[in-house]
Amino acid sequence: MEIRSFYPQPRLLMGPGPSDVSDRVLSALSRPTIGHLDPDFIFLMDEIKLLLQYAFQTDNALTLPVSAPGSAGMETVFVNLIEPGDKVVVCRNGAFGERMRENVVRCGGHAVMVDSKWGEAVQLDQLERALDDNPDAVAVAAVHAETSTGVCSDVQAIATLADKHNCLSIIDAVTSLGGIPVKVDEWGIDAIYSGTQKCLSCVPGLSPVSFNDKAVQRITARKHPVQSWFLDLNLVIGYWGKGSQTGGKRSYHHTAPVNNLYALHESLLMLKEETLSASWQRHQLNHQALKAGIECLGLSFAVSADVRLPQLNTINVPEGVNEAQLRQQLLNDWQIEIGAGLGDLAGKVWRIGLMGHSASQPKVLTLISALAACLVAQGGSVDSLAAVKSATKVYESAGN
């Protein structure tokens, strides 16, 4: 067998991540690799930090991209903040809440679960009861945007409740950052992690995290060393923490993924140029257009409107339609990727991501046409033109 260079077919990425990466970000990725302690690179790191502070809406000094995907950001937060014996209240309303529980347990902590049904938001009264019943809890963990279900939880209220009960708040913002408001300082979030390949539309492989002073105090006051060498922030701070503004020197910890960081810098710069509020609005507008189109095709949402994420649309598979076959046809005939359901929702829903650069008018209109064609191929009778027209109307009324 002869092995050749790999050239992937360009796809439209409209699933739960990764999302479409712009040419600007891809071209940043291909710039010359330089040393990770090169003064020019140190300058870039300082700018990335500033741009991340903007994206997270925070002044937290400990704001940096972990050199690994979102799951490593999750792990960074838990291994640094949780010590053996710590009690943590974990809100679980989907797959990623369950992963938070796993992290707590693997850190030797005790997880008190606040469970909601898949497809529902975290119930605040339930959380408050759990906090009243567990006055010795040290932290509350919750997912802002549950990508497994397409549900948004009120993490501002969750952080407020945590604070009221002397707990740190730990928030998963992997799918929310850039797509819907995330205001770390204003909402009083103590520790947060995200990912690059969802609404930031960067390549996968990095995880922005941010910790406020309260969280940092907890890390520096630990009784046990962090069991992960790579993710121990006490060590990472030596590399990321000392900015050129402070005149401090950075020391070697690990070789940063230099080119990935060029890409992150470019994608965050694009977000800053667009502005956060315009990005949030764009995600909302594309969601409304998609909604108009798919409802015209007779499809419905699996999640109630008040907790729906604009960037992750969970759509019920209609009776008589083969879920996997439709996804396969979208990929083969249209080069469009959408997501399948997870857990209890497997086989019952599709997950359509409108994240970052995938949240755009031509892509949404293409998807609606493609969905219509695939439904017709399975014997459905839908009006493709009417669906595109109703989506187009949403854009027109927004002045696009």
Ligand X SMILES: *Cc1c(COP(=O)(O)O)cnc(C)c1O
Q: Which of 174, 12, 184, 166 is nearest to 87 (CA)?
A: 166
Considering CB under 6 A, how many residues would be counted as binding ligand X? 13
Q: Which is nearer to ligand X, 200 or 388 (CB)?
A: 200
The single residue listed with the structure tokens 């010795």 is: 136
End-to-end CA distance of the chain: 51
Contacts of 328 (CB under 8 A, 6+ apart): none
Q: Which is nearer to ligand X, 65 or 69 (CB)?
A: 69
Can residue 175 be called a binding residue for ligand X (CB under 6 A)? yes
Task: With contacts defined by CB under 6 A, name the span among 171-179, 232-240, 320-328, 346-354 that binds ligand X.
Answer: 171-179
Build a one-symbol-per-residue string for 83-122: x at contacts with ligand X by CB under 6 A, - elsewhere: -------------x--------------------------
Build a one-symbol-per-residue string for 54-83: x at contacts with ligand X by CB under 6 A, - elsewhere: ---------------xxx--x---------
Residue of this chain nearest to ligand X (CB atom): 70
Among residues 162, 174, 307, 388, the one that binds ligand X under rule CB under 6 A: 174
Can residue 17 be called a binding residue for ligand X (CB under 6 A)? yes
Task: With contacts defined by CB under 6 A, name the span among 116-124, 172-180, 343-351, 356-364 that binds ligand X.
Answer: 172-180
In the complex, the smallest distance separating the C-beta of residue 150 from ligand X, rounded to whole angstroms, is 11
Q: Which is nearer to ligand X, 61 or 342 (CB)?
A: 342
Residue 90: CB atoms within 10 A of its CB come to 27
Q: Cis before residue 84, ω within 30 degrees of 0? A: no
Contacts of 145 (CB under 8 A, 6+ apart): 151, 152, 172, 173, 174, 175, 176, 179, 180, 309, 311, 312
HSE (side-chain half, CA atoms, 13 Å) at 284: 11
In the complex, the smallest distance separating the C-beta of residue 118 from ligand X, rounded to whole angstroms, is 13
Question: Is residue 308 annotated as involved in ligand binding?
Answer: no
Can residue 147 be called a binding residue for ligand X (CB under 6 A)? yes
* The two structure tokens encoding residue 165: 């009960």
Q: Which is nearer to ligand X, 181 or 318 (CB)?
A: 181
HSE (side-chain half, CA atoms, 13 Å) at 30: 6
In the complex, the smallest distance separating the C-beta of residue 307 from ligand X, rounded to whole angstroms, is 15
Distance of CA 200 to the CA centre of its chain: 8
Tell me the DSSP string of 198-209.
Answer: STT---SS-EEE
Q: Which is nearer to ligand X, 202 or 388 (CB)?
A: 202
Q: Which is nearer to ligand X, 175 or 329 (CB)?
A: 175
Among residues 20, 75, 83, 172, the one that binds ligand X under rule CB under 6 A: 172
Tell me the DSSP string of 124-146.
Answer: HHHHHHHHHH-TT--EEEEESEE
**Which residues bind to ligand X, rule: CB under 6 A?**
17, 69-71, 74, 96, 143, 147, 172, 174-175, 195, 204
